[in-house]
Every structure is written in C-alpha cells, then in structure tokens.
A and B are shown apart, each in its own frame.
Chain A
Amino acid sequence: MRMKSIVAAAAAVLLGALVCAAPLRAEGETIKLGAVLPLTGGIAAFGMESKDGINLAVDEINAKGGVLGKKLEVLFEDDKGDPADTTNAVSKLINTDKVLAILGSVASSCTLAGAPVANSAKIPMITHNSTNDKVTGVGEYVFRTCFIDSFQGATSAYVAAKIIKAKTAALVTDVNSDYSKGLGEAFTAKFKELGGTITGEVSYQQNDVNFSSQLTKLKGTPADVIFIPGYYTEVALILKQAKQLKIGSVFLGADGWDDPKLLELAADAADGTYIVTHYSADQKTPEVEKLVKAYQDKYKRGPAVTDALAYDMVYVVADAMKRAGKADSQALRDALAATKDLKGATGSVTMNKDRNADKNAIVLKVEGGKMKFVESVKP
C-alpha cells in the first residue's frame, strides 16, 4: 500500500513536471492571461475553487491545441480578498506581465477596485463571481459571466410568486451588507409588480446568533414566503430558530445560501427551502455532466458553484478570442461584447449591452438534506 502510494506520488510529480515544462518550452508562443483571486484570507475557499476551475478549462483547451494555434497561459495573483491588493495585482499583470486580459476577482468590492485600472489601460477584465450591479458600470472593458444582484433579487420574487405561489412575503436582511440590501430591494419591487404584498421586514447583523425576537415578530404577521438574502452561516441559524418557533412559511434565499455548510449547520431545518443560484450539479445537461466528470477525474471532488462559474468564464474568453481572430485586447473586448448563446455548465451566456451575462438562474429545493434541481428560470 505504502509502496504503491510512493510510486503514485512519484508518477504525479513527474507528470506535474512535464505539464509545468510544457508552457516553458512554448515561451513566446502562449497567450498570457492574468487571474486575480483571493488565494489566501477569509474567502480563500472561493479563490481556490476559481483557480481549480480556471486550470481545468485551460488544460482542456490546451489539450485540444489551444486558441489561435497558441497555448493559453494563466498567471495567478493573490489579492487576499482585499481591494487594495486587487488594484496592485491588476497593475502588475498589465504593466509587468503584459497580459491580454484579466480574470477575476471574486468579491465585488475587489473587482470594483481593480476594474478601473484595467479599464483605463484598455485591457478587458472579466469576472465570474462578482454579482454587485455596479461592477460592470466601471467601463466598457469590464465584463461578467454571471448574473447580477438585481436580477437575482427579481428572480427570487418570481420564484416566490410563480413557483411557491405566494401572495405575501416577508424579508430578513443583513443591515450591514450591500449584497443583502440590494437583493432585498430588487425582491420587494418585483414581488409587488407580480401582485404580491410585503407583510414585514426585519434585519440582523453579521455574527448575530439570536434571531428569536425578529422571528417572533414575523410570526405575528404570517407570510407565505420569507426571503432571506444573506450568507449561509447566519441563514442556517435563522432556519433553525424559525423551525423551533414553528413558523410555517416557506423560506427562500439566493446564492449566499449555496454552500454545503448550510445543510450541515441547519440540518433538517433547511428542508423545504428554495435557493436561487447559478448552477446545479443535478441539472442533466451535457455541459454539467462533462464538468462533474472532469472534476472527479482531476480533483476527486464535485464542482461547487464557484468552480463551475470560473470554468465557464475561461470558455467565454476563449470563444471571444477565436472570434476576434487575433490576440489583441481591443479585438478581444469587441468580441466579448458580442458573445451570444455560449453554452456552459452554468447556463448559456449572452452578453447584454451592460456587459453582464444574460443567463438563467437555477432554482434548487432542499429535500432530505440535499439541494435538488427544480428548474432553470429567466423571468
């Protein structure tokens, strides 16, 4: 057993050395892309997932001969989830490494800090995971391959009204989070437009553990749906305490819920809740099945939502390069803006005039401790 693993390790090292050596030999014949990601720090998990997704897609593309006859090469920079570091990393990639385009970052605050640098240097910057509405407003060189918060909030309202068939809704928002407030506002506007009534709104702060007073208040004015635009740590506790108070409403959340930790922390209290997110491993499209298989082979795990988004982003960029016909930042920008119906694991991407991806949202329902695919919607 031991011997076997040593041999396996040695083989892996050899293989790794070969893979690493390949781009070196091809020096000057690669197309260089930069990636700015939080590889350490508080949201490092998302950064590492992004890196895995990018690496897998690049390997697949290079194995098929690369783009425009050249191999892709990605230079990774760590921004630690800190906006100041994102700005520096973007400058370095553009000025020192002369990259064709920049991928990333994850947190909206980081992308918002790095994007002006790329935009004024006329280098396209593409993010896969920053959903804040303002990100692509920085300039016409900034793109994103995921949907935006206002779409997410509106879609949640659509799910509440059409799938859950709710007439009334209440909100639980994180008072210090732009993400939470933005989603809440978009939800409220769309839900009213669809003929629903908002019966109450309560708030909490990050790191709170006791939500009983807020939930008691909501129990007094029962709503069909309770929408909680927040992150899984607090959401899990809210769901638990809501169950203890026997609140009968259906709970609904957005991509901040989409983490296996939610199910671990909330246990059976998460059953029956709905989640609006980017991706589901259960969705039986050829793209999803291919991604899941490739992940199992390469990383021995299933792809999480950030993995899938990063993977798809590389294909969007590669597709634009092919259409541009040359490795030129300006041509790449124009081609990116014309992206249409590009199929990926997280849905098909069409760039709209605001340089945001028009794509479907995935609705999941938690049943028996698993997030199950319900449908793919675009209201």
Chain B
Amino acid sequence: MSEFIQQLINGIALGSIYGLIAVGYTIVYGILGLINFAHGEIYMMGTFSAFLAVQFAKSKFGWEMGFFPALLIGMLGAAVLGVAIERIAYRPLRAKSAVPAVMLGLIGGGAAFMLLGGIMGHAGVHFGNPLALFVSTSVSSSSAVEKVEGAQIPALVSLAVWAMLAFGVYRLSKEKLAQRKKLKAGTLTALLTALGVSLLLQNLGIQMFGATPKSFPPLVEFYPYEFGSIILANQDMLIFGAMVVSMVVLQLIIYKTKIGKAMRAVAVDQDAARLMGVRLDFTISCAFAIGSSLAAIAGVLYAIRYTKIDPLMGALPGAKAFVAAVLGGIGNIPGAVVGGLIMGVTEALVVGYVSSTLRDAFAFGILILILLVKPTGLMGSNQPEKV
C-alpha cells in the first residue's frame, strides 16, 4: 500500500510538470488552431535561461541567485522566445502572401543550421523530436538512425529532408492556388513550420550550450517529509503547488482581465473579434507569452528535481505533454492539467506495476486510443475539427 501511495506521489509530481507544459499547447491551439511543436524547445530554452542566469550571477557578481529570481528569468526568457517565434515563424503564415514567407522561412531555417553545423565543424545534425525523427527516417534508411533519442544523421540527409519539406509545401501551396482557394494559414503549412522551428531550436541549443548534459544547481535543497515508509519530497510538493498556483492565476487572467476576455473572443471567432476592435496580433502574442512562461516554470522545477539538463531535454516531455493536452481535450485548459496528471500517474504505475520498458509505449498508446475513441478528449467541447 505504501508503495502504491509513493508511486502516486511520483506520478502526481511528474503529471504536474506535464500539465504545466500541456497548458501551453492548449492555449495556443485554442486561439490559433495551431499545434506549436516547438513548445518542448521553449521549455528547454526557458530552463537554460535560468541556468545561465544563475551561473552568470555567480561568476560575475558572486551572487548566489535564489529560486524566485531564477524562475522569473527563466519565464521571461521563454516568454520572449515564444513571442519571437510567433512573430517570426507563425505570423507571416497568417498574412495573405503566405507562400513566399513559408518558403523563405523553411529554406532560411534549414540553411541557418546547416551553416552553423558547418561552421562549428559538427558532421551531424540532430533530430531529437520524435515527430521530426519520423519525417527524417522516412527519407533516410533506418540503419542511419541508431536510436530514437540522440540519433545523429549526416548533414546531407538533413539537407534532403529540408529540401523535401520545402518542395512539399511548395507543391501544396501551388495546388491550392490552382484551386483558387483563399490562402489563409494552411494548417499543414503551420504544422510543418512548427516542426522546423523545433528542430532549429534543438540544434541551436546544441551549438550554444553543447550536447554534454549540465547539472542544474539545487536552488531548492531536497528535504524529505516521512510518513512511515512514504517519502514526500519538498521539491515534489513545490512542483504540485506551483502547478496549482499557476492554474489559479491563469484562470483569473482569462476570466477577470481584459486581455483574457480578448483571448476568449479570438478563440471563438478571429474575424468577429477583430471587427469588435480586439487587437488580434497582440492577443496572440500574449497567449504565446503565457504558455511559454508556464513551460519555463515546468522546466526550472523539473531541473531542480532531477538535476540533469541538456538541449534535447524538451523533446520527450514536450511530446508527452502534447498527448496530455489531446487527452484532456485540446483547447481546454483544465483538461490539459487533468490530462497531464493522468499521464504522469499512468507512467508511474506502468513502471511500478507493469514494466519499465513499456513506459513510453503506454504514453503514446494513450494518444492513439483517445484519437480513436474520443477525439475531442476527456473534457473537450464537441466543435468541428480544425486540423
């Protein structure tokens, strides 16, 4: 029994992390109908912002930065990055002349990290994101991919992937043009762009921080509360508490402030909201900023709890949080939290009572199951499918 309770505690702590990340997916989806696959990388970058700030403060000023300043800097870093990604990569897609922008974006992004790889003398380009890996494996032979996490694929193959992506997007847009349909934020185009951004950030992370894992400083010292043989870690309580507080604050923002009202309006109908004088771009930027800073909270807490950080740390939690968001009903904020908690607890129980080998298989099995049985998710409303 005590083992079961301990597994529940482990699962709830992990689930709170997934929940916090999942909310970012869900907010952006609710407003834009876009699945921001770069969200896992925003989580990573936010964590690294906090990490670098702590190191910088210590080495330059001899200041042992505490938990809250580090958390705030992480949130700020992630929010700036999230808004910048939206501004640079996604907003042009909403404009009328989407095709050239997307082409430029993809080719530019590809060229940028090819160049970086070349300059830094790295022979391989990294594909850590499982979805990106799927894209790349469909091009390269499976033998080139050693394992799902940390596969090194020669630069030539990555160039081929980028070329094919760009070609695919070009063909799709051309067909659409031929059909004389209005070109407005093609969902597939946006999805591919998001994947590209995700890859770009992972590789940038490797160039900037190095692929070697770093040890995150223990900003909150581990302290166990013992109840018989059950151990409740202060860090786990902090994670759960931070999740609850964030959710309360988020609900207040959404239902009690003007910007929250604007966000809800945009989520219902973009055009109507714009006609009523809602500043569309600003509202969307705010959604990205909020989602990104929540991801940074998750990242910093996770790093404090589990110590190790590296530029690919966002790939798997990002993918699992996406499943959590779908599970709870994408677009629904309480749903994302519930989905995250279910994912976390399932993972802990599968490892504890079934088999640790099947952990990830269960996590992604949930995604397939929910899409087959109840595509709107546990708490999702029954709207017509946007994707």
Which residues of A are in contact with B by a Cβ distance under 8 Å? 42, 80, 175-176, 202-207, 209-210, 212-214, 216-217, 219-220, 233, 237, 240-241, 244-246, 264-265
Q: Are A216 and B10 interface neighbours, CB within 8 A?
A: yes
Q: Are B149 and A217 interface neighbours, CB within 8 A?
A: no
Is B286 an interface position by the 8 A CB rule? no
When chains A and B are docked, how far (Å) is the Cα of A210 from the Cα of B14?
Answer: 9
Q: Are B222 and A205 interface neighbours, CB within 8 A?
A: no
Residues from chain A with a CB closer than 8 A to the CB of B355 are: 203
Q: Are B231 and A246 interface neighbours, CB within 8 A?
A: yes
Residues from chain B with a CB closer than 8 A to the CB of A209 are: 302, 306-308, 313
Residues from chain B with a CB closer than 8 A to the CB of A214 are: 351, 356
When chains A and B are docked, how far (Å) is the Cα of A72 from the Cα of B384?
Answer: 77
Q: Given that A212-B10, A219-B6 are contacting pairs, would A244 and B308 also be in contact in the complex, using a CB cutoff of 8 Å? A: no
Which residues of B are in contact with A by a Cβ distance under 8 Å? 3, 6-7, 10-11, 13-14, 123, 147, 149-150, 211, 213, 215, 222, 224, 226, 229, 231, 233, 302, 305-308, 310, 312-313, 316, 347-349, 351-353, 355-357, 360
When chains A and B are docked, how far (Å) is the Cα of A205 from the Cα of B147?
Answer: 11
When chains A and B are docked, how far (Å) is the Cα of A233 from the Cα of B215?
Answer: 10
Q: List 7 A-B contacts (CB under 8 A).
A: A175-B356, A206-B147, A206-B149, A207-B310, A216-B6, A245-B231, A264-B215
Q: Are B351 and A213 interface neighbours, CB within 8 A?
A: yes
Other-chain contact of A216, B3, B149, B222, B307 (Cβ < 8 Å): B3
When C-beta atoms are compared, the residue in chain A nearest to B236 turns out to be: A212
When chains A and B are docked, how far (Å) is the Cα of A265 from the Cα of B360?
Answer: 26
When chains A and B are docked, how far (Å) is the Cα of A209 from the Cα of B307?
Answer: 8
Nearest-Cβ distance from residue A253 to partner chain B, whole angstroms: 18
Q: Are B224 and A244 interface neighbours, CB within 8 A?
A: yes
Nearest-Cβ distance from residue A319 to partner chain B, whole angstroms: 37
Nearest-Cβ distance from residue A194 to partner chain B, whole angstroms: 26
When chains A and B are docked, how far (Å) is the Cα of A220 from the Cα of B313?
Answer: 29
When chains A and B are docked, how far (Å) is the Cα of A205 from the Cα of B123?
Answer: 25
Q: Are B224 and A220 interface neighbours, CB within 8 A?
A: no
Residues from chain B with a CB closer than 8 A to the CB of A80 are: 123
Q: Given that A175-B356, A213-B347, A219-B6 are contacting pairs, would A205 and B149 also be in contact in the complex, using a CB cutoff of 8 Å? A: yes
Other-chain contact of B3, A210, A217, A240 (Cβ < 8 Å): A217
When chains A and B are docked, how far (Å) is the Cα of A80 from the Cα of B121?
Answer: 13
Q: Are A202 and B356 interface neighbours, CB within 8 A?
A: yes
Q: Are B10 and A237 interface neighbours, CB within 8 A?
A: no
Q: Are B356 and A207 interface neighbours, CB within 8 A?
A: no
When chains A and B are docked, how far (Å) is the Cα of A175 from the Cα of B99?
Answer: 45
Residues from chain A with a CB closer than 8 A to the CB of B348 are: 212-213, 216
When chains A and B are docked, how far (Å) is the Cα of A204 from the Cα of B226?
Answer: 26
Residues from chain A with a CB closer than 8 A to the CB of B149 are: 205-207
Q: Are B357 and A203 interface neighbours, CB within 8 A?
A: yes
Residues from chain B with a CB closer than 8 A to the CB of A244 are: 222, 224, 231, 233
Q: Are A237 and B356 interface neighbours, CB within 8 A?
A: no
Residues from chain B with a CB closer than 8 A to the CB of A219 are: 3, 6, 229
Q: Are A237 and B308 interface neighbours, CB within 8 A?
A: yes
Other-chain contact of A176, B11, B147, B211, B224 (Cβ < 8 Å): B147
Residues from chain B with a CB closer than 8 A to the CB of A245 are: 6, 231
Residues from chain B with a CB closer than 8 A to the CB of A42 are: 211
When C-beta atoms are compared, the residue in chain A nearest to B350 turns out to be: A213
Residues from chain A with a CB closer than 8 A to the CB of B14 are: 210
Other-chain contact of B224, A202, A206, A217, A246 (Cβ < 8 Å): A246
Q: Given that A175-B357, A202-B351, A219-B6 are contacting pairs, would A207 and B150 also be in contact in the complex, using a CB cutoff of 8 Å? A: yes
When chains A and B are docked, how far (Å) is the Cα of A207 from the Cα of B231?
Answer: 25
Q: Are A213 and B308 interface neighbours, CB within 8 A?
A: no
Q: Given that A202-B351, A244-B231, A245-B231 are contacting pairs, would A213 and B307 also be in contact in the complex, using a CB cutoff of 8 Å? A: no
Residues from chain B with a CB closer than 8 A to the CB of A202 are: 351, 356
When chains A and B are docked, how far (Å) is the Cα of A217 from the Cα of B10?
Answer: 11
Residues from chain A with a CB closer than 8 A to the CB of B3 are: 216-217, 219-220
When chains A and B are docked, how far (Å) is the Cα of A352 from the Cα of B147?
Answer: 35
Nearest-Cβ distance from residue A363 to partner chain B, whole angstroms: 28
Q: Sort A-B residue pairs by CB-CB distance and give the 3 closest, nearest first.
A: A213-B351, A220-B3, A209-B306
Residue with the highest number of chain B CB atoms closer than 10 Å, among A42, A175, A209, A212: A212
Residues from chain B with a CB closer than 8 A to the CB of A212 are: 10, 13, 348
Residues from chain A with a CB closer than 8 A to the CB of B10 are: 212-213, 216
Residues from chain B with a CB closer than 8 A to the CB of A241 are: 306
Q: Are B224 and A237 interface neighbours, CB within 8 A?
A: no
